[in-house]
Amino acid sequence: METAYLKTPIGTAEFKGDTSGLISITVIDEKKPADIIPEVLEDAVYQLKEYFEGSRKQFDLKLNPQGTDFQKKVWSALLEVPYGKTVSYLELTKRLGDVKAIRAVAAANGKNPLWIVVPCHRIIGSNGDLTGYAGGLHRKKWLLDHESPIKQQSLF
């Protein structure tokens, strides 16, 4: 398995993967060298860089996340939530066909190993609150603001 790093506005992205695909992208607070990017991770690093620059709204990567069948089903449903949009945990659960599974869906969402590419940050509480985000709510807010079609402008 290969590893690469990318400095982003909200932390260092750590990529892990191999020829079978991208296994994980996580955010870490520590700074890591981003000099050497293994060939199997070049496209992932490039596409995430474009996302942060504002020129990419969809990813085209070979994904290979490790998890249970249920988790993979939830992560697949997350891929259906478009850039700039949010859905509630309840709505996501309804889309998966079992409203009683809301806690399990929320738990699977929290274990998403592919930061940003599988957009778990787009899932919010039914009342619109930003709830539960493994990377920290400040990052979730930043990502949603970054994707918002309405940009807050400074008065000064």
80-101 tens-digit pLDDT: 999 999 999 999 999 999 989 9
The chain-wide mean pLDDT, for the chain, equals 92
77 pLDDT exceeds 90?
A: yes
Overall domain count for the chain = 2
What tokens were used for 6?
């990318």
152 is known as an active-site residue: no
For residues 7-35, give the mean pLDDT. 91
pLDDT digits (tens, 9 = 90+) for 123-139: 999 888 888 787 889 99
Q: Which residue range forms the structural domain that includes residue 16?
A: 2-53
pTM recorded for the entire structure: 0.90
> Residue 100 domain-assigned?
yes
Looking at residue 127, its pLDDT comes to 87
From 25, 120, 123, 143, active-site residue: 120
Query: How many other CB atoms sit within 10 Å of the CB of residue 24?
Result: 19
The CATH number of whichever domain residue 80 belongs to comes to 1.10.10.10
